[in-house]
């Protein structure tokens, strides 16, 4: 078995992608209130800040910042995933265990990237906010309800018509093109 290594930077900021095992479902947006509550529960156990987030039907992207001296993002994410699964069960959602006796809602791993500097941070926040357009879920960023973009507009950080969906309006962000 390959030993998977994760970069850990105490007090750092990270970009994450978490995906459901079944990429054809809309479970995350259908139960977005349970997901929000799962994040609140995880934050109550161990502090962290969500700087940006977008929840799509079957995956989410977020930028998370940890407190000074703390580099343990894995347990925070695990806590959120477990809380979400427990909430689904409590609402009567039928969860079938996999061959390994795991509840197969989430993909077992997740993608993380240590944000190196302000420019890297800003590029990933832009990528998060533009993601609903990338996936064809909205014509304008403001039209997708499950995004921290609305907070950025409310706080005056971004204009309401940022990346309005017109050709050429989309800022370069996130993934590198080959």
Name the active-site residue from 4, 14, 93, 146.
146
- What does the block give as tokens for 162? 């940022």
User: Could you give the CA distance from residue 156 to residue 134 in angstroms, rounded to a whole number?
Assistant: 24
Secondary structure string (H, E, C) spanning 55-98: ECCCEEEEEEECCCCCCCCHHHHHHHHHHHHHHHHHCCCCCCEC
Handedness of CA 81, 38, 57, 125 (dihedral sign): negative
152 is catalytic: no
User: Which residues are the active-site residues?
Assistant: 146
């Amino acid at each position: 078995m390959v030993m998977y290594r994760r970069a850990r930077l105490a007090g750092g900021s990270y970009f994450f992608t978490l995906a459901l095992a079944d990429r054809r479902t809309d479970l995350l947006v259908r139960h977005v209130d349970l997901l929000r509550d799962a994040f609140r529960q995880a934050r109550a156990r161990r502090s962290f800040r969500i700087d940006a987030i977008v929840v799509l039907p079957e995956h989410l992207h977020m930028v998370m910042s940890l407190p000074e001296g703390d580099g343990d993002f894995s347990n925070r994410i695990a806590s959120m995933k477990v809380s979400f699964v427990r909430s689904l069960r409590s609402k009567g959602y039928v969860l079938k265990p996999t061959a390994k006796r795991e509840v197969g809602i989430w993909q077992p791993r997740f993608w993380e990237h240590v944000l190196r500097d302000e420019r890297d941070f800003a590029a990933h926040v832009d990528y998060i906010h533009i993601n609903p357009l990338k996936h064809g879920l909205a014509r304008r960023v403001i039209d997708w309800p499950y995004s921290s973009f609305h907070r950025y507009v409310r706080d005056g950080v971004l204009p309401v018509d940022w990346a309005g969906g017109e050709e050429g309006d989309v800022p370069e962000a996130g993934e590198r093109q080959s």
